[in-house]
């Protein structure tokens, strides 16, 4: 590696040189704001008589002469693409201005010094050779006259237009002077001797801040020769990048996809900021053949991931509807499992009916948990390894059985728990996507004329008992019912419906809403208004009856598998978060991280749990409140610990708490670590 301080002018004017932006580089993405800052800096140093130089960072490149027989020297840019491309756009703006003011000397100087290699072959003529999508825009800018248009959007075109607008005949000499004072650190690497990937990682850690997917792309491609780079990029990585994208926002989801893929493969979820490191550990640098085999497996699932995040791309309307529902629920944690199930359907291991039933089952499980209010954190751990539960010979049954067996806060809520929770749940103030999901599913169940709330702006949510009721409501209901409904049922599903005439219905009394000509409940074809057409008043009794009417439909839509589980879990083994007050109770045993602990006292469980957690991740005890809560110390005599108990050879904790306080501290630690589902206990039977 050779690092030298150089002038930008000298670097760009190098004879017979081409600056290659390799396929593994992220796209050119400087904003107009960043362009403004650079041009302002150039003008400042151009005007200044005291400033002889202005530093703009570094440009790191690899000599790739070994891979070309050309007389043109190729420098592969691994850091500095954004600045180098933007400087080229500034020279292009100056070139265009020189043509306008008919300064032929300046035209030729800029063109032949900074933009092209005059006597090179056509493919080597441009000094800067960007990636394919930008190459077309750059060539357009170089050849275009004012009559030609560039039809696609390009950051190069947008930024060039900005520079062309700002750089005029009054200031261009200052711009040229400022450019002549720009300095940078030129870092030259030699392939085979230097480690470009390690240097790139170091640059990223000091401020480049690429996405995890960008780092993975560089890791895969950077060590290959240019021919193999293009082969791997075009055959694999480019396809992965195109499919792992949110079509609506045009946002890359490569990092998320690779994270889900690694979750599926490793049965553990990588930290969002460590996906690249996990990928490197899983796929160390290998032969080209091994790399292709690994990427082929990844590419085989990205087409399913594309449909999970973009349901409209699924051509089968029945499957597409299920995917739209899952997408609306925003349960991305199920993607690792569903990608594999999708692949089984694609490879005809299961039929369409089974696939749809699995998709529907996942919705029932997740939606019931949402209504009941169970923690979403447990879903991560369930689905990261859930595919191992699949029995290909009895596919659906095995998935149903595995979900029904889940204990504690991971459980599949049963019917009574679901209905009791839904009866009083505020479903009006939940996320709009979830609210729309609930109402659309209720309305459209077995409906041949489905109502799409999201796309039909005329259909809105209507409170039967209004949010700001007309005074007549209190007269008709009486104070007790009026207050009871307002305080307990206002935003529950029993009091909500859909209407295309919400503005007309407003805060009117119930009978006025029911009978309003061409706008009332009686004239509605919506299922959610069906019950409202046959009643003459709206009070607590009718609201609860309507809820029961809706509840029957809920249990049909979000049903629970009606199967027998042979190996039932001992119902007395419960998650510690669901356990009764442990005061005066003894334990029979506990299960922690799937290992049985022979502990018969809460005190023994307390010590064992914290020993294992401290061995697993000691730093968390010092960066959160856990250490303080348990009295963690090296010197119990100095801290006046009431009941010091050894945690290991160095540390003590205070064990002088009540059983209830010990449970509270254990639960705090499990929540902090994200291990809410990892500790099950069984109380010992009490002596009579």
pLDDT band at residue 460 under the 50/70/90 scheme: confident
Average pLDDT (47-54) is 87
Q: What does each C-alpha distance from 652 to 296, 662, 672 come to in angstroms? A: 52, 15, 20
pLDDT band at residue 66 under the 50/70/90 scheme: very low
Rounded CA separation 31/88 (Å): 15
Rounded CA separation 420/650 (Å): 50
Closest C-alpha to 190, from 17, 19, 64:
64
Tens-digit pLDDT profile for residues 589-628:
999 987 889 999 999 999 999 999 998 889 899 999 999 9
Residue 73: CB atoms within 10 A of its CB come to: 16
Residue 376 in tokens: 């979403």
Q: Is the pLDDT of residue 69 over 60?
A: no
Closest C-alpha to 494, from 458, 441, 539, 526:
539
Contact 458, 500 (CB under 8 A): yes
Tens-digit pLDDT profile for residues 145-195:
555 677 777 889 999 999 999 999 999 999 999 999 999 888 888 766 666
Contact 377, 421 (CB under 8 A): no
The predicted structure's pLDDT at residue 197: 65
The predicted structure's pLDDT at residue 208: 44
Average pLDDT (406-426) is 91
Tens-digit pLDDT profile for residues 651-674:
999 999 999 999 999 999 999 988
Give percent of the chain above pLDDT 70: 94
285 vs 551, higher pLDDT:
551
Q: What does each C-alpha distance from 400 to 59, 76, 404, 556 come to in angstroms? A: 56, 54, 6, 16
The predicted structure's pLDDT at residue 229: 86
Closest C-alpha to 208, from 357, 324, 106, 80:
80
Contact 166, 38 (CB under 8 A): no
pLDDT band at residue 452 under the 50/70/90 scheme: confident
Crossing angle of helices 81-100 and 132-143, in 10° steps, is 20
Tens-digit pLDDT profile for residues 188-223:
887 666 666 666 665 554 444 568 888 898 888 877
Q: Is the pLDDT of residue 639 over 90?
A: no
- Where along the chain do its domains lie? 2-209, 217-412, 419-557, 573-683
Contact 561, 400 (CB under 8 A): yes
Rounded CA separation 399/360 (Å): 12
Residue 77: CB atoms within 10 A of its CB come to: 21
The predicted structure's pLDDT at residue 144: 62
Closest C-alpha to 156, from 125, 182, 135, 172:
135
Q: What is the largest CA-CA distance in the chain?
A: 107
Question: Average pLDDT, whole number, for the chain?
Answer: 89
Tens-digit pLDDT profile for residues 85-124:
999 999 999 999 999 999 999 999 999 999 988 888 877 7
Tens-digit pLDDT profile for residues 465-478:
999 999 999 999 99
* Helix intervals (H) in 234-312: 238-243, 254-266, 275-282, 288-309
Average pLDDT (626-649) is 89
605 vs 61, higher pLDDT:
605
Q: Is the pLDDT of residue 676 over 90?
A: no
Tens-digit pLDDT profile for residues 568-593:
556 578 889 888 899 999 999 999 98
pTM: 0.69
Rounded CA separation 317/148 (Å): 43
Tens-digit pLDDT profile for residues 3-43:
678 899 999 998 888 898 887 777 788 999 999 999 999 99
The predicted structure's pLDDT at residue 570: 60
Average pLDDT (318-335) is 94
Residue 23 in tokens: 């396929």
């Amino acid at each position: 590696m050779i690092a030298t301080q150089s002038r930008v002018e000298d670097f760009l004017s190098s004879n017979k040189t081409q600056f290659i932006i390799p396929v593994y580089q992220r796209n050119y993405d400087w904003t107009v704001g960043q362009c403004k800052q650079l041009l302002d800096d150039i003008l400042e140093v151009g005007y200044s008589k005291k400033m002889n130089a202005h530093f703009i960072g570094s440009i790191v490149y690899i000599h790739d002469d070994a891979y070309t027989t050309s007389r043109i020297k190729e420098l592969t840019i691994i850091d500095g693409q954004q600045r180098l491309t933007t400087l080229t756009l500034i020279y292009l703006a100056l070139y265009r201005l020189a043509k306008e003011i008919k300064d032929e000397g300046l035209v030729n100087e800029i063109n032949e010094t900074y933009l092209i290699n005059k006597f090179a072959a056509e493919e080597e003529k441009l000094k800067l050779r960007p990636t394919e999508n930008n190459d077309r825009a750059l060539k357009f800018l170089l050849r275009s006259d004012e009559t030609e248009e560039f039809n696609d959007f390009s950051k190069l075109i947008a930024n060039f237009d900005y520079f062309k607008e700002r750089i005029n005949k009054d200031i261009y000499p200052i711009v040229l002077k400022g450019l002549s004072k720009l300095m940078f650190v030129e870092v030259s690497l030699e392939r085979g001797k230097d480690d470009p990937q390690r240097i790139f990682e170091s640059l990223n850690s000091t401020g480049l801040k690429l996405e995890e997917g960008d780092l993975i792309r560089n890791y895969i491609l950077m060590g290959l020769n240019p021919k193999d780079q293009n082969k791997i990029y075009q055959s694999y990585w480019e396809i992965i990048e195109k499919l792992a994208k949110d079509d609506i926002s045009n946002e890359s989801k490569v990092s998320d996809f690779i994270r889900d893929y690694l979750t599926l493969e490793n049965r553990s979820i990588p930290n969002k900021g460590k996906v690249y490191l996990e990928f490197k550990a899983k796929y160390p640098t290998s032969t080209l053949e091994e790399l292709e085999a690994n990427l082929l497996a990844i590419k085989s699932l990205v087409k399913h991931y594309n449909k999970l995040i973009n349901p409209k791309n699924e051509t089968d309307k029945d499957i597409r509807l299920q995917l739209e529902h899952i997408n609306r629920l925003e349960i991305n944690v199920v993607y690792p499992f569903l990608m594999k199930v999708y692949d089984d359907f694609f490879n005809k291991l299961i039929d369409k009916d089974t696939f749809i039933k699995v998709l529907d089952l996942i919705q029932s499980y997740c939606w019931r948990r949402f209504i009941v209010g169970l923690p979403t954190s447990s879903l991560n751990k369930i689905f990261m390894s859930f595919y191992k539960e699949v029995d290909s010979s009895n596919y659906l049954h095995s998935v149903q059985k595995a979900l029904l067996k889940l204990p504690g806060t991971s459980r599949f809520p049963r019917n009574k728990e679901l209905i009791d929770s839904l009866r009083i749940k505020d479903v009006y103030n939940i996320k709009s996507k979830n609210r729309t999901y609930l109402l659309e599913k209720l309305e459209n169940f077995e409906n041949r004329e489905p109502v799409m709330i999201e796309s039909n702006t005329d259909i809105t949510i209507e409170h039967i008992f209004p949010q700001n009721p007309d005074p007549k409501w209190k007269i008709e209901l009486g104070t007790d019912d009026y207050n009871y409904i307002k305080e307990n049922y206002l935003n529950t599903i029993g009091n909500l419906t859909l209407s295309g005439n919400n503005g007309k219905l407003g805060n009117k009394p119930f009978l006025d809403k029911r009978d309003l000509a061409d706008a009332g409940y009686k004239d509605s074809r919506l299922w959610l208004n069906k019950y409202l057409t046959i009643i003459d008043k709206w009070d607590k009794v009718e609201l609860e009856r309507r809820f029961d009417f809706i509840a029957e439909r809920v249990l049909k839509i979000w049903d629970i598998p009606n199967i027998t589980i042979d190996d039932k879990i001992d119902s007395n083994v419960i998650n510690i978060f669901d356990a009764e007050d442990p005061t005066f109770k003894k334990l029979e045993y506990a299960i922690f991280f799937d290992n049985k602990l022979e502990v018969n006292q809460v005190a023994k469980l307390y010590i064992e749990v914290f020993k294992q957690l401290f061995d697993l991740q000691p730093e968390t005890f010092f960066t959160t409140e856990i250490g303080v809560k348990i009295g963690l110390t090296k010197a119990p005599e100095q801290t006046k610990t009431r009941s010091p108990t050894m945690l290991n050879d160095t540390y003590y904790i205070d064990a002088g708490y009540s059983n209830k306080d010990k449970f509270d501290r254990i639960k705090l630690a499990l929540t902090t670590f994200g291990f809410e589902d990892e500790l099950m206990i069984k109380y010992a039977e009490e002596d009579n």
